[in-house]
Amino acid sequence: MKEEVLRAREVAIREALKEIRDGMVIGYGSGTTVAQMTGILRGLICERGLNVVFIPSSLQSADLILSHGLKLASLAEYPEPDLMLDSFDQVDAEGNVIKGGGGALLREKVLMQASKRVVLVGDNLKLKERMDFPVPIEILQYAYPHVKRVLSSWGLRMEPRVSGGKMGPIITDNGNILADVYAGILEDPEKLDHLLKRVAGILETGICIKAADLILIGYPDGSVKRMEINRRRYAREKSLP
């Protein structure tokens, strides 16, 4: 990975970690940026003597938490975390993001919705006027042929996510199939999100419509762009649509 990208991510990470307070319960995302974050996070916690616990979004993030000597917790113990820290694959000018490159999109979106505050970090290469990153989706295994047929009839190419060391598709921590939908430039990401989730068997998409409170974009020169978002908190709505 290029040094410029790592440097850009680090400045965004350090800005995000200013959000942490003693006694917090923190939802923790997955992926390469989160892996980079963990070592910096451990140093901060040790330096400031903070007592915080982390709810992982995946086996990867659970392993990161434990391997760095941090405290593990669960959503069953703390159904409303104080803070969610995570990254993303791409963000548009309106603060919508695509997540799921690390394969944990469903659990990450649960933690995002459950948390009191959500802060996402990324490097400047992930900021686009309009997103065009392939949209990750999590599919019930039983429904895979149906989902593939429907998306194909809409003119959308869907490919199961595969790894170099395993035959066949990647299976998520929830036992489902992970796939990517190639939809080109997302002129209306919210419409696509609703459309995909109408297909029986698509459990979740990686499209997150204004789901964060703050998005931090780091640049190689050490500057950070702060995107304050009017977060949509679906779980907080007090009346039915």
Structure tokens given for 109: 């979106």
DSSP summary character for residue 92: -
Question: What are the φ/ψ torsions at residue 105 (nearest 5 degrees)?
Answer: -60, -40
Assess whether 228 carries a catalytic annotation. no
Question: What are the φ/ψ torsions at residue 211 (nearest 5 degrees)?
Answer: -95, 0
Reference 197, options 115, 111, 105; nearest CA is 105
Reference 136, options 108, 155, 167; nearest CA is 108
Cα–Cα distance, 91 to 127 (Å, whole number): 5
SS3 159: strand
Among 10, 15, 108, 138, the active-site one is: 108
Reference 26, options 86, 69, 106; nearest CA is 86
Active site members: 108
